[in-house]
A and B are shown apart, each in its own frame.
Chain A
Amino acid sequence: MNGFTGGGGELGLTGADLTLLIRDVLARGASFRFLARGSSMWPFILEGDVVTLSPLNGEPPRIGEVVAFSHPRAKGLCIHRIVEIRGEKYLIGGDNNRRPDGVFAISDLLGRVTRVERNGKTLSFGLGPEKRWIPWLRRWGISRWLHSRAVKTVYHLYRRVRE
């Protein structure tokens, strides 16, 4: 049997491959559960969190929702937040990024994040009703304060104490 199996989970799927696989799964009306990478959505989604992505099902996303899309510059999958709706287009950006990614059409969006798991526990903060305020905080520059080293250090200490 070992002569037939591949690397499996060790494939480390990223970028275009992961995007295609997600498209296939969501097109079947199913959700897709996978490991998040990077720190652009700190503190709501961290590297190693397990994210569940669900199809849009014809329901346009709202401000504050976290969506997945294929980033044209990074040529990879991004999971970032809708910070503004401009007509039928969406301004999207990472919570931990100073600059938004750009404006995207709904056809560019793969699905919405419906669940985030960290250390086996489901997180709700950042995906509940408060998600609508996060883009405002960002616009008012409060997110810059969140970027400060002092706040990050305090947050990491808090996490360590909790764990």
Chain B
Amino acid sequence: MEDEATLEGRYRPSEDVVARVIEGELVIIPLKAGVGDMEDELFSLNPTGREVWNRFNGERTLGEIVREIAEEYEGESAEIERDIIGLACVLLQRKLISAVS
């Protein structure tokens, strides 16, 4: 499945997005058909989500990102893995990130 994130997958922000930190959150707006839609398409990440987003550089695997975040934040590794995979799936579905082949 195209929208399924895997631990072996490498991901990077899509070219057609605008992202800016506002009030501590990362506001992400996809440019669909030449329109950045703040009303229907705006997506935002809190500071922890930003930490994950910043690691989507097309070089790290999702598994490596999970390990880095687990080392940085206290919490159950399995839970962190599940949450990061879940986030990656949502970002893929919204076409905010894309898989690097």
Interface residues of A (CB under 8 A from B): 1, 3-9, 11, 13, 17, 20-21, 24-25, 28-35, 50, 52
Query: Could you tell me the distance in whole angstroms from the C-beta of B30 to the nearest C-beta in chain A?
Result: 10
B36 near A8 with CB under 8 A, answer no
Interface residues of B (CB under 8 A from A): 18, 20, 22-23, 25-27, 29, 31, 34-40, 42-46, 48-49, 52, 83, 86-87, 90
Which chain B residues lie closer than 8 Å to A3 at the CB level? 46, 48-49, 83
A6 near B44 with CB under 8 A, answer yes
A35 near B45 with CB under 8 A, answer no
- Determine the distance from Cα of A25 to Cα of B48 in the docked complex, in whole angstroms: 24
- Determine the distance from Cα of A25 to Cα of B20 in the docked complex, in whole angstroms: 10
Query: Could you tell me the distance in whole angstroms from the C-beta of B53 to the nearest C-beta in chain A?
Result: 8
Knowing A30-B36, A33-B39 are in contact, say whether A1-B26 is a contact too (CB < 8 A). Answer: no
Knowing A3-B83, A8-B43, A20-B20 are in contact, say whether A25-B29 is a contact too (CB < 8 A). Answer: yes
25 residue pairs of the A-B complex, CB under 8 angstroms, read A1-B86, A1-B90, A3-B46, A3-B49, A4-B46, A4-B48, A4-B49, A4-B52, A4-B83, A6-B27, A6-B44, A7-B25, A7-B44, A8-B42, A11-B22, A17-B23, A24-B18, A24-B20, A30-B31, A30-B34, A30-B35, A31-B34, A33-B37, A34-B39, A50-B39
